[in-house]
Structure 1
Amino acid sequence: MECNEHLLKMLVRDIVAKLPEKEKALYQFIDELEVRLIEAAATPDQYLNLLKKYSPYHEAANQFDISPYKARTMMHRIEWKIAANLEEKLQHIKWLEHPSHGKRVKKGYLVFK
């Protein structure tokens, strides 16, 4: 099913909210750092340079008292979990359209099977 960006963000937020606290905290910490770096960068090259200078994994390692390797490994596992959960949710979404009594506009809504 083709999905719009807003729906995907909503589904990901829902999945993240249901993660265990440690995973949710790490994911949100790294994600927020990456978003700040994206916003600070004017070009993709500048973003990559900022990533090297202010590594979110090193920052998370300091914040959560773990190694940068463990922060990266945990983040990758969390991202895999989110992606799998998102794929499962997308498999169960169906768009239903109902004609509006005599009008040309159709009303639609999402249903989770």
Structure 2
Amino acid sequence: MECNEHLLKMLIRDSVAKLPEKEKALYQFIDELEVRLIESAATPDQYMNLLKKYSPYHAAAKQFDISPYKARTMMHRIEWKIAGRVEEKLHNLKWVEQPSGGKRVKKGYLML
């Protein structure tokens, strides 16, 4: 199913909220750092250079007292988990139309 950006963000936010606390904290920490780097970069190349210089995995490793390798591995697992949940929700989405009580316009509701 094709979905718009707002729906996708909502589904991701919902999936992140349901993560165990440790996973949620690590995901949010790394995600926020990456967003800040994206916002400060003018080009994709500059973003890649900033990623190398200010590695979110190294920062997370320091913050959570783990190795950068473990931070990266955990982040990848969390992202796979989130992607799986989002994909499942997208697969199960249904658009339900409700009669409008005699009017021509029907209201639609997205059922998750």
After TM superposition, the score normalised by the length of structure 1 is 0.92
State the alpha-carbon separation in 2 of the partners of residues 39 and 106 from structure 1. Answer: 41
Q: 1:22-101 counterparts in 2 under 5 A?
A: 22-98=22-98, 100=100, 101=102
State the alpha-carbon separation in 2 of the partners of residues 99 and 5 from structure 1. Answer: 28
RMSD: 1.2
Deviations 1:70-94 (CA, angstroms, capped at 9, x unpaired)? 0000000000000111111111111
Name the count of aligned residue pairs: 111
The residue number in structure 1 matching 2:13 is 13
Give the letter for the 2:95 counterpart: W
After TM superposition, the score normalised by the length of structure 2 is 0.92
Match of 2:66, SS? coil
State the alpha-carbon separation in 2 of the partners of residues 99 and 7 from structure 1. Answer: 24
Q: Unmatched 5+ residue regions in structure 1?
A: none
Match of 1:74, SS? helix
Measured after TM superposition, the shift of residue 2 of structure 1 is 1.2
State the alpha-carbon separation in 2 of the partners of residues 2 and 98 from structure 1. Answer: 22
Measured after TM superposition, the shift of residue 106 of structure 1 is 4.2
Identity of counterpart residues, as a percentage? 83
Shift >2 Å, 4+ stretches: 96-103
Q: Unmatched 5+ residue regions in structure 2?
A: none
State the alpha-carbon separation in 2 of the partners of residues 2 and 67 from structure 1. Answer: 38
